[in-house]
Chain A
Amino acid sequence: MIIEILKGNDAKILRHDEKVILALVPNDKLRSTAELLFKAGCYYATGVGVDERLLGVGFSMYHIFNCESEKRYVVLKAVASNLRIPSITPVISGANWAEREAMDMVGIFFDEHPEPLRLILPDDWPEGIHPLRKEFHYNERPPRIEFKPSKKEKKPGVMEVPVGPYHPTLHEPEVFELHVKGEEIVGAVYRGFHVHRGLEKLAEERMTINQIPFLAERICGICGYTHNCAYAQAVEDAAKIEVPERALYIRTILLELERLHSHLLWFGVAFHLLGFDSGFMHTWRIREAFMDLAELLTGNRKTYGMNLIGGVRRDIDEEKKKKVLEIFEKTKKETKEVLDNAAEMKELISRMEGVGVLPKREGREIGVVGPVARASGIDTDVRRDHPYAAYGDLEFKVPVYKEGDVLARFLVRYEETFESFWIIEQALDQLPPGDILSEDYELPEYAVGIGATEAPRGEDVHFVITEGGNKVYRWRPRAPTYNNLPAVPIMLMGEKLADAPIIIASIDPCFSCTDHMVIVDGEKVCRCSLDDYLRRL
């Protein structure tokens, strides 16, 4: 089906196997191909702009689609002619951020993009300097330019309430500008990317393939291991490395352990935002046991540092296996008790029911992932649709709800928590014998690889182009929040201001993961008083 669409649009198939189809699409057919793919049930995962001049190609854009029906990722490659590529945002709104990011970072222009504004680069960054071009070095500092913020029009009767950049709900610097009439939200604007860390540049210029897993893990403080896995899988995919089965099972166990602790963390935060601090304290107390478990299995409570390309670094022996099951017996009961009690509290439910609804159609267009998608009736799960690690051998349910409100997201996570217990028990039971690391591989030159995992928050996609030797040419991690955030303004419209925190938190936002890349050193960029600095913001 998909291959016919591609061939019908004069696409040149560069790679076609059971996991990925990579096709070079002529520019004039790009938009129609993308539209046909979307109609065939593929949703937009992410887009990557690459400076391929060293390969003799010029600048290119890779649009990655997740085709669940065919259990494949489809990558459309388009090469810029004269730095221009037609935009596909008019037909798939989910491509908006990815294209704007490519505009900022690589300097490709997208024709007919409906909103060609800066996304990632700060406002005082000079025009024409694009950090992800190969001639720009990781330690370069561009000159600062003068910039004046445009004046905002004030609407009568509408109050502007900023949620952020430092707000107790967000825990990370981001801004949601809420326009409020009384208590009702009549408009919401998101402005993010305040904490760009330049990870991609650092990885491409400074690090070797086996160092990047540890950098990838630091993308997120909560779901780091799944980024680590996704990167390893991307390189293994590009280099066709066979990972030992025991290593795959160990990865599964740790991935699910991470989901358990992440979901419990979310429950705690949600309870706190609803004013139910006792629930917050109790869920975090139980979460502590999972951190201890992680320490038992990996040596670290968080940021496990377990993966290398081709396997894992530590084995799980019989004694540890027994200990895990022992702790599980207790924690499972406690988790059930606390979450069930909370689910029975009427005033908590009344604060979540019917609040922050995301309709299925709009969710699909934006390409929301994870619990947010599943709560809106979109049946998607990378673990089931694109089996990785040991998920192909294990049995688990994927909860899907139709309502699309905060309560549905709560319930999806509630059910997933208990599925995770079940998956870990199965994986421990079936743990096959054998090696845990295969080091017998060679990295090919300029091969494309995709690694996808189901993080607690949704689909994680890592895209890698190898350089040969032990380097990568281009690495692009995409965190799940990147796809979920554009849906938040839709959820906020027409709701009460009091519900804004729980709506924002209901997607389990992970802002820093989304803003994965530029250090803005306040002292060097702006030699002015705090007042002047604040005025400039």
Chain B
Amino acid sequence: MNIIFMAINLAFALLIAPVVDSFEMKIRARLQNRQGPSILQTWWDLIKLFKRPTVEPQDSVKSFYKLAPYVTFTAVLTAYLIVPTLLPSSINFIGDFIVVVYLLGLATLSFVIGAFSSGNAYAQIGSNREVSLFMSEELLLAFIVGTIAVIGKSLSFDQLFPLPLRISSVLALLLLLLVIYVASARLPFDIAEAEPEIIEGPLIEYSGKHLGLLEYSMFLKRLLLYSLLLNFILPVQNPTRLIGYLLGIMILSVIYSTFEAYYGRFRIDQAVKLMKKLSAVALVVWIIALVGW
């Protein structure tokens, strides 16, 4: 049964991730006095991209360039087997939290390697920025994982979902909310893509199916991070979990896209400085958790 439930979870993610993106676009549009696209727009965009042929740039390292979108996509999908979405069933083992963090890291890494191997100047600047942002956010994430592990006394999602209500767990989840915002490349942190500056940076040379896969994995990654956060809050074996989960995604979407609509873009040095400050805060939260509050 577990396997069937997991398949349902995966199918839900694959179907709904682009819809969440359209939903956010719609909210942003309303905040900007615009009509906004239909709720299925992202799906139409993806379908169009998958129909288009792909072009490989002349100067690229072809094997890396072609492989990168598949690795990114698979890495994110694999993480879905460990983090439950719609139904509370998943593969669990000791240290699966670490594996999810690594899988997300692998997705970013392959994305960056693919961009680097395209040989485009804009892509290289973009991936440089992506790497520096990733590094700065990694330290923060490490502290958060540490805090959560201390609170739940485990590194397996089995025992971590949901977190007990304590000062440190609330603070840790708030920080996680921030990290998710940064990791999902939203304004003001979409520095790597920055359309008016470096024309989508790492994505610039990608086209057709490859571009579609990369964008699809971005949407999937956002939904995965949402689910991760919600799982820490929602009760596990309870029929209200389903409603809570769907409602939670909508609430998170509204919060995040409202923030996005009212921000300008940071420069990379400003973003890194901010992440350093947040890391210091996370260190304090970790100490609070160790004390036992």
Contact = CB atoms under 8 A, between A and B. Distances in A.
Interface in B179-209: 187-188, 190-191, 194-199
B268 A347 contact: no
A500 B122 contact: no
Given A169-B197, A183-B125, A281-B33, A498 B267 contact: yes
Contacts of B261: 277-278
Contact of B197 (A271, A285, A348, A498): A498
B121 interface: yes
A273 B33 contact: no
Contacts of B125: 159, 161, 180, 183, 497
B194 A275 contact: yes
Contacts of A169: 196-197
B33 A282 contact: yes
Range of interface residues on A (Cβ < 8 Å): 20 to 34
Nearest to A168: B196
B121 A500 contact: no
A351 interface: yes
B59 to A, nearest CB: 13
Given A274-B264, A498-B191, A160 B270 contact: no
Nearest to A285: B33
B166 to A, nearest CB: 33
Interface in B108-147: 121-122, 124-125, 128
Contacts of B267: 351, 496, 498-499
Contacts of B265: 274-276, 351
B247 interface: no
Contacts of A500: 197
Contacts of B270: 347, 350
Interface in A260-300: 271-279, 281-282, 285
Main secondary structure of the interface of A (DSSP, over half): helix
B78 interface: no
Given A169-B196, A273-B196, 5 more contacts: A275-B194, A277-B187, A345-B264, A347-B270, A497-B125
Nearest to B274: A347
Interface string B251-275: 0000000000111111111100000
A415 B265 CA distance: 25
A438 B195 CA distance: 52
A281 B36 CA distance: 12
A397 interface: no
Centre residue among A167, A180, A498 by max chain B CB count within 10 A: A498
Interface in B63-81: none
A402 B131 CA distance: 38
A347 B264 contact: yes
A387 interface: no
Nearest to A499: B267
Contacts of B128: 182-183
Interface in B226-281: 261-270
B51 interface: no
Contact of B264 (A162, A180, A276, A501): A276
A159 B123 CA distance: 12
Contacts of A160: 121
Given A271-B264, A347-B263, A499-B267, A278 B32 contact: yes
A182 B131 CA distance: 13
Contacts of A273: 196-197
Contacts of A279: 264
A355 to B, nearest CB: 9
12 contacts: A168-B195, A168-B196, A180-B125, A272-B196, A274-B264, A275-B263, A276-B264, A278-B262, A281-B32, A347-B188, A496-B267, A501-B196
Centre residue among A168, A169, A275, A276 by max chain B CB count within 10 A: A275
Contacts of B121: 159-162
Contacts of B122: 161
B262 A275 contact: no
A164 to B, nearest CB: 11
A282 B263 contact: no
